[in-house]
Amino acid sequence: MAPLADVQTLTGEQDTWSVYTKTRSTVQEQPLSKDELDKYTRYFHASMYLCLGMLYLKENPLLQEPLKKEHIKPRLLGHWGSDAGQSFTYIHFNRLIKKYDLDAFVISGPGHGAPGLISNFYLEGVYSEVYPNKSEDAEGMQRFFKQFSFPGGIGSHMTPETPGSIHEGGELGYSLSHAFGAVFDHPQTIALTIVGDGESETGPLATSWHSNKFLNPITDGAVLPVLHLNGYKINNPTVLARISEEELRSLMIGYGWKPYFVEGSDLESMHQAMASTLEVCVQEILKYQKEARESGKAVRPRWPMIVLRSPKGWTAPREVEGHYLEGFWRAHQIPLTKVLTDPEQMKQLESWMRGYKPDQLFTKEGKLITELKELAPAGNKRMSANPITNGGILRRPLKIQRFEEYGLKVDKPGVTSGPSMNHFAEFLRDIVRDNQTTFRVMGPDETESNKLSAIYSAGKKVWVNGYLPEDEDGGNLNPKGRVMEMLSEHTVEGWLEGYILSGRHGLLNSYEPFIHIIDSMVNQHAKWIEKCLEVSWRQAVSSLNILLTSTVWRQDHNGFTHQDPGFLDVIINKSPEVVRIYLPPDGNCLLSTMNHCFKSTNYVNVIVADKQNHLQYLNMDDAITHCTKGVGVWNWASNDAGKEPDLVMASCGDVVTQEALAATALLRHHLPELKIRFVNVVDLFKLIPNGYHPHGLKDAEYSALFTDNKPVVFNFHSYPWLVHRLTYNRPGQERLHVRGYKEKGNINTPLELAIRNEADRFSLAILAIDGLKERLGNKGGDVREKLIGERIKARNHAYEVGLDPQDLTDWTWPY
Amino acid sequence: MAPLADVQTLTGEQDTWSVYTKTRSTVQEQPLSKDELDKYTRYFHASMYLCLGMLYLKENPLLQEPLKKEHIKPRLLGHWGSDAGQSFTYIHFNRLIKKYDLDAFVISGPGHGAPGLISNFYLEGVYSEVYPNKSEDAEGMQRFFKQFSFPGGIGSHMTPETPGSIHEGGELGYSLSHAFGAVFDHPQTIALTIVGDGESETGPLATSWHSNKFLNPITDGAVLPVLHLNGYKINNPTVLARISEEELRSLMIGYGWKPYFVEGSDLESMHQAMASTLEVCVQEILKYQKEARESGKAVRPRWPMIVLRSPKGWTAPREVEGHYLEGFWRAHQIPLTKVLTDPEQMKQLESWMRGYKPDQLFTKEGKLITELKELAPAGNKRMSANPITNGGILRRPLKIQRFEEYGLKVDKPGVTSGPSMNHFAEFLRDIVRDNQTTFRVMGPDETESNKLSAIYSAGKKVWVNGYLPEDEDGGNLNPKGRVMEMLSEHTVEGWLEGYILSGRHGLLNSYEPFIHIIDSMVNQHAKWIEKCLEVSWRQAVSSLNILLTSTVWRQDHNGFTHQDPGFLDVIINKSPEVVRIYLPPDGNCLLSTMNHCFKSTNYVNVIVADKQNHLQYLNMDDAITHCTKGVGVWNWASNDAGKEPDLVMASCGDVVTQEALAATALLRHHLPELKIRFVNVVDLFKLIPNGYHPHGLKDAEYSALFTDNKPVVFNFHSYPWLVHRLTYNRPGQERLHVRGYKEKGNINTPLELAIRNEADRFSLAILAIDGLKERLGNKGGDVREKLIGERIKARNHAYEVGLDPQDLTDWTWPY
């Protein structure tokens, strides 16, 4: 098998070394005695044996009788490829936990490959403690095997059902950001983080190496990444496994790490290499932490990391039927695929499994023998038992001031404009102040732009990456900061997820349009939480709070790329037990909503609120009442006197609420005989029928607000169809006319943007008149014409003069 | 301003150098004569003058009278920060285009900052050629200034309205992947790619540096990245601007590039540094290309790249009112913010603009003086006139075989199972074969898993990153490949966008659940296309074809993280002119659909089709008829004999169509007196009312299929509410019962997963019976009980035996 004729790599230092020749290691010490070597090999084999058991067996777990077809699972599922490398790393880190009394836990980046770690969790007893029927005996082992990738059982990732996990890895790319999130403000903790070389190709992972610029060695713990160069993805070599060692070393140095290499396939020398290298890394971490903590200097050292190059599917047969297995992508999933139909493969599997000598590893009853058992740490020092991995245990409620104290003064609804976001920022500032080690604010470089800079007086922006004199000129940077900003929505979201899952609190603030960048991450987090709800021993964690601001209606000037309120369409499909969506219409409602969200657990709360000055409607008492109900009639804006109205004007969102009110005022001015009820929705899920979501109104409650037979004009913040999706089976759907962002925009003024989408005051009033055509007759037609004229005038004004970011907001409620 | 007391960086080589001291450059040549130096300075100043004009002026473009308030735009918008660095780079590359007769275009990564390039496009005349009323005179310049960031005008990115652009940069992170996509199979082209240091923090950008491992120097062009270390984002320093030079150099080497540094603020020495460095880079590119092309060896050299470190807001005043402006984040947007209200600032602006000496740069009429004009290339050598940037000009129709030849033989509907995806793969293989330089298949390591591996016989997977002997064992790698796989949805999507926008064709295939990773990218592409439709000179480009497979219903075994069909909810909100969604129910429909998509232009086509074997329903003729209509009655599955049925059973999607058919069969078996009509939807937008989308059925057409008053049971591939969102104002909404994925899943068998979501045969039949309760009476109740029993049995079977990936598919149509 010669290289292809016309192919050649030319990347500086050529690297023709094969993993199957001599083991290579940066560190050359040989810390293990012969006896230890033997024990670690057997422990590793016990783990590998369990991995194969999980993939293949439903009966005969200890191979106490010859392997037969009826012992094999009818459908073979699971991944073998990265199991060995992950287990190998875990086992060797156990040694150091014992030796240095470390507080550590593990993150498994490579997705499918969980058996490598789950097998260890079982060997060290945690699995059986958490699931007593998966006991440390033959019967328990049989159940442990059978449940793997089996209906009603556990998946082949580190799912929520698996103790010791805060990172599933179903979707790849977030191992490092989760690890960093979990060790921030946990100064004693080390996150042993196995990074897959497949995962390493993802964007989120590629940039998350830079997280080290945001880690304070005094107040934060440490992340020890082990980049596992397994060599292959599903069907391809990985990029990082095929670049020269010079490039790989440079890459890690470039990311700010100090790389150590451990490479080979020979077990004994690999044991020595891994044991010594991990130990050097731990010593460096402890040294840097000690230096920083004793000197009080928050430095960024080149933290150590390890490149572990081992064969894909390590310890499997190298060749099967003339094709490479170990060391090739064919070892990615089930290594022998025809066991059920091919007696030869069945024999091969049996002799492979027996090659690990299970009878010498486990007692006759099926328990790991004592001398191996002792290799693992005890109690909560076992990584799978670290409370961080069930963060709700550590979580303490947030210390939170009375949000009412931060309110805006509202004497009369709709006549004063005020900075909703700035008031919230003061509330947030004091939360930061009062929870200096348990609350962080994350965002992609937009906290200031989003008008939240008040918090800097309680916590600056974390920066451990070089300072210049001009930073003193309002830079607001400090290694002890509480605000974390990197222009990577993926990284800040990953940090926050890790921070929350390990028992703390936080907030992500982002421009609304670009939150779509992390659609998939938030999806996955919602799925994680949903499954945690089904796992009885998982304690509740803080909600993931996402504040969306710089919203579509004020992205007039940034143009079409910045106009996308569709994140709600993604969130709304997630499990109703988990997701919550709020659109507070003004500052006091924002405060009340955020207070609720910060105190809640196990939700994904999405809050949409613009950052610009806005009309204020409700005083604090009314805001609390309104937000507690989640939806309500605004009597001050209604003239139906509590009776049946002619028309319901409804709104959900801040800018659109103002336009709906302005439309109401136009109608009342031009058509004073009309009885209009004004309804505002804060809690979007109120619209969905009760039963579909815990917040859903009963039909009678819905009708009491929206009537049974009167036209409803509903001005919605986001894409209008979402309201129809929520209300399609409500009474009176055919009378419900929803307006919202209809993907019409470019460079606009705010009012002109609303007009383009027919969500402006004029269009809404016209829509109402159209809905009341028969009742209003000619008079309605006259008003309609007039309003169309005003709308044209407003639009032309924008095109001609181009001024007036305030063209939308220079309006107050006239009644 | 001393460094903060407790702050220190410790990152190896310390780097206290300031951009304001001596210019530093890797290359030390001084290629420019004194006269050239002077000309380049003046050309640069002309560009800077235009940038300020765009930000500030609506009148008095040449400052022929003293600057007054009425000359200034009423709302100041736009970004100054990166303008100078971008313009500087562009101007110097122009010199090399002329000297080496290069074919080049520019990509601007830094988002807002477009004035730096747009000013150049105006100076070299292209802007006026494309927009004659923005002529090269005072009047044209005034219009050119006024339209910038003005309602009805152009945005502050490189929007579709801007000639010379295929990359807007509204959402950051895709400059490099777009650049690579555009030069693949364009061997003569160089993409000068300005990468922002803010953008560099995003995940997508961070991994896209690795694109060099997929570039063939023989058949592809080259990308020359200029990483512009501007220093600051909106309110923060950038990560890369604050690491040591050693780390930055290592990072670029680690990514496989050869970095050249050009750093400083002194214009004259910077001119020499940039001119010489760019020239060395161009020479290296040409040398590597020549070597590869002459030798026939597809090597990966360390392609050159440049780190350009220049002050943010370069050439602005360094300090304003005691605060840093140039060289600090305050220069990010409008540099002098109070010009309209502060006469001092107005004066400052005027003297700043006059400092560029516009009267010596432009003729009295307002045209750039001839001696400067000559610095730019001519005709299509001007980067803003390169046809690549209006790719439709270059686009040739795909050579495509008759898709009918690849069909599956279907003698009788619903009785034979067949590999739909494999047949499509053969069609695709021949497209690859027949369009070897104009068609590529992209995917994140899943082409084989997605059953498309037949294409490897016409085009292997591109790999220019080191080979091992085992690659001969089915590796399917080749530097000349036509399939591109990297485990980064972002990168492969970016490549495909760049490839299409520069005039070629392609397909992205992906697992359905993880396509959410690129929600935001696809959103942005759809927005780009939508705006292109409004720009008369933009020629149509090929559609972006996204094939989603490994779909939710067969992700039973991978678990909850792999179950998410919600991409459609994102796509459906985009402009109806642009988006199309197809769910072909079987293999022949898949062929017909894909054939249509490949021939289409200016769409985002999303096609959802599972990769497993599926029942086949339609022979080729029927499939063509069905797909052409997009929705239709399947008479063979109906027993209403073309008359009014008792029930309509409808489906959209492959797995769910089978279950709907199985439910129909159950109903016909148990309740033979029921008249059932079976309707299948291929083209999802058929459901929306005509007028909302060009494909939408008229209400009469809709009623002719779904009746006016009969119950409809609709089994939908994705989240069921999407169908309600599309049909909420159709007649008979209250009789429409939709089933689909309701976010219920874990480790399942396919049938058990369907049962969990009530999208299985039993649940659908029960739903139908419930809808016909009055008509069916007791008999319905009996059947209902029976079906509930069968459903329980099927579910228990999964939990007990766990076998049978085929439990769903071991079924055929019995009539």
Top pLDDT among B156 and A542 is at A542
Residue of A nearest to B293 (CA): A6
Region B764-791: mean pLDDT is 95
pLDDT at B7 over 70: no
Interface of B with A in 258-297 (CB under 8 A): 296-297
Angle at B111 between CA B109 and CA B112, to 5 degrees: 140
**What is B155-220 written as a DSSP string?**
-SS--TTSTT-S---SSSS-HHHHHHHHHTT-TTEEEEEEEETTGGGSHHHHHHGGGGGG--TTTS
| Whole-number pLDDT of residue B804 | 57
Interface of A with B in 356-395 (CB under 8 A): none
| Whole-number pLDDT of residue A14 | 44
Region B614-633: mean pLDDT is 97
Q: Where in chain A is the domain with CATH 3.40.50.970?
A: 25-390, 412-614
User: Burial of B132 by CB count in 10 Å (0-12 exposed, 13-18 middle, 19+ buried)?
Assistant: exposed
In chain A, what percentage of residues exceed pLDDT 90? Answer: 86
**Closest Cα in chain B, distance from residue A716 (Å):** 14
- A-to-B residue pairs, Cβ atoms closer than 8 angstroms: 471
B155 with A203: Cβ contact below 8 A:
no
Give the number of other CB atoms < 10 A from CB of residue B547: 28
C-alpha atoms less than 13 angstroms from C-alpha of B502 in its C-beta half-sphere = 32
**Closest Cα in chain A, distance from residue B84 (Å):** 21
Interface of A with B in 578-637 (CB under 8 A): none
How far apart CA B444 and CA A313 sit, in angstroms, is 21
Q: Which amino acid is at B779?
A: K
A14 touches chain B (CB under 8 A): no
CB-CB neighbors (< 8 A) of B6 in chain A: 296-298, 479-480
Residue of B nearest to A201 (CA): B487
Region A169-193: mean pLDDT is 97
Count how many residues are written for chain A: 815
In A329-487, the DSSP E strands lie at: 416-418, 439-443, 461-462, 477-478, 483-485
Do the Cβ atoms of A587 and A428 come closer than 8 Å? no
Do the Cβ atoms of A185 and B782 come closer than 8 Å? no
Best B486, B487, B803, B804 member to test A by mutation, with max A CBs in 10 Å, is B487
A155 with B559: Cβ contact below 8 A:
yes
**What is A456-478 written as a DSSP string?**
GGT--EE--S---GGGGTT--EE
pLDDT band of residue A798 (cuts 50, 70, 90) is confident
CB-CB neighbors (< 8 A) of A251 in chain B: 250-251, 253-255
A562 with B205: Cβ contact below 8 A:
no
Q: Which helix (H) or strand (E) holds B623?
A: helix B620-629
| Whole-number pLDDT of residue B17 | 59
A466 with B170: Cβ contact below 8 A:
no
A575 with B449: Cβ contact below 8 A:
no
Do the Cβ atoms of B73 and B61 come closer than 8 Å? no
**pTM exceeding 0.95:** yes
Cα A396 to Cα A387, A401, A535, distances in angstroms: 13, 15, 20
- SS3 state at B78: coil
Region A74-79: mean pLDDT is 90
Region B282-302: mean pLDDT is 96
Fold of B24-393: Rossmann fold (3.40.50)
Beta bridge pairs of residue B228 = B196, B308
Cα B141 to Cα A335, A390, B367, B509, distances in angstroms: 69, 64, 9, 46
CB-CB neighbors (< 8 A) of B75 in chain A: 557, 802-805
Residue for token digits 């009047």?
A: B139
A29 touches chain B (CB under 8 A): no
pLDDT at B282 over 60: yes
pLDDT band of residue B4 (cuts 50, 70, 90) is very low
| Whole-number pLDDT of residue B805 | 54
Interface of A with B in 33-52 (CB under 8 A): none
Interface of B with A in 123-162 (CB under 8 A): 146, 149-157, 159
Query: In CATH terms, is domain B418-614 a member of 3.40.720.10?
Result: no
Do the Cβ atoms of A267 and A88 come closer than 8 Å? no
* DSSP letter, residue A452: -
Q: Which residues contact B468 (CB under 8 A, 6 or more apart)?
A: A18, A237, A242
Region B769-774: mean pLDDT is 94
Look up the CATH number of domain A25-390: 3.40.50.970
CB-CB neighbors (< 8 A) of A561 in chain B: 155, 157, 168, 170-171, 524, 527
A465 with B239: Cβ contact below 8 A:
yes
A28 touches chain B (CB under 8 A): no
| Whole-number pLDDT of residue A804 | 58
Please give the ipTM for the structure prediction: 0.96
What does the pLDDT look like over B96-115, one tens digit per residue? 999 999 999 999 999 788 99
B254 with A251: Cβ contact below 8 A:
yes
| Whole-number pLDDT of residue B807 | 66
Which one, of B294, B260, B256, lies nearest residue B277 by Cα?
B260
What does the pLDDT look like over B439-491, one tens digit per residue? 999 999 889 889 999 999 999 999 999 888 888 888 899 999 999 999 999 99
B488 with A448: Cβ contact below 8 A:
no
Region A339-368: mean pLDDT is 96
Region B185-191: mean pLDDT is 98
pLDDT at B733 over 90: no
| Whole-number pLDDT of residue A642 | 80
| Whole-number pLDDT of residue A6 | 39
| Whole-number pLDDT of residue A354 | 97
Interface of B with A in 447-506 (CB under 8 A): 447-449, 461, 463-475, 477-480, 485-491
pLDDT band of residue B152 (cuts 50, 70, 90) is confident
B641 touches chain A (CB under 8 A): no
A155 with B252: Cβ contact below 8 A:
no
- SS3 state at A447: coil
Beta bridge pairs of residue B693 = B690
Which one, of A180, A254, A175, lies nearest residue A215 by Cα?
A180
B562 with A170: Cβ contact below 8 A:
yes
Residue for token digits 């439309």?
A: A663
C-alpha atoms less than 13 angstroms from C-alpha of A225 in its C-beta half-sphere = 35
Q: Where in chain A is the domain with CATH 3.40.50.920?
A: 630-801
B802 touches chain A (CB under 8 A): yes
B12 with A486: Cβ contact below 8 A:
no
Do the Cβ atoms of A339 and A317 come closer than 8 Å? no
User: Burial of B409 by CB count in 10 Å (0-12 exposed, 13-18 middle, 19+ buried)?
Assistant: exposed
Give the number of other CB atoms < 10 A from CB of residue B343: 10
How far apart CA A368 and CA A373 sit, in angstroms, is 6
In A187-321, the DSSP E strands lie at: 189-196, 222-229, 257-263, 303-309, 319-320
A517 with B198: Cβ contact below 8 A:
no
The whole-angstrom distance between residue A570's C-alpha and the CA centroid of its chain comes to: 14
**What is A699-767 written as a DSSP string?**
HHHHHHHH-SSS-EEEEESS-THHHHHHHTTSTTGGGEEEE---S--SS--HHHHHHHTT-SHHHHHHH
Top pLDDT among A22 and B684 is at B684
Fold of A412-614: Rossmann fold (3.40.50)
Using N-to-C axis directions, what is the helix angle for A34-56 and A343-355, rounded to 10°?
A: 150
* DSSP letter, residue A369: P
Beta bridge pairs of residue B764 = none
B559 touches chain A (CB under 8 A): yes
**Closest Cα in chain B, distance from residue A328 (Å):** 8
Interface of A with B in 695-754 (CB under 8 A): 719, 721-722, 724-726, 728-729, 733-734, 743, 746-749, 752
B562 with A519: Cβ contact below 8 A:
no
How far apart CA A202 and CA A237 sit, in angstroms, is 14
| Whole-number pLDDT of residue B12 | 38
**Closest Cα in chain A, distance from residue B804 (Å):** 7
Fold of B630-801: Rossmann fold (3.40.50)
B564 touches chain A (CB under 8 A): yes
Q: Where in chain B is the domain with CATH 3.40.50.970?
A: 24-393, 418-614
User: Burial of B699 by CB count in 10 Å (0-12 exposed, 13-18 middle, 19+ buried)?
Assistant: middle
CB-CB neighbors (< 8 A) of B2 in chain A: 469, 472
pLDDT at B387 over 60: yes
pLDDT at A11 over 70: no
**Closest Cα in chain A, distance from residue B376 (Å):** 30
Select from A159, A238, A445 the Cβ nearest to the Cβ of B234: A445
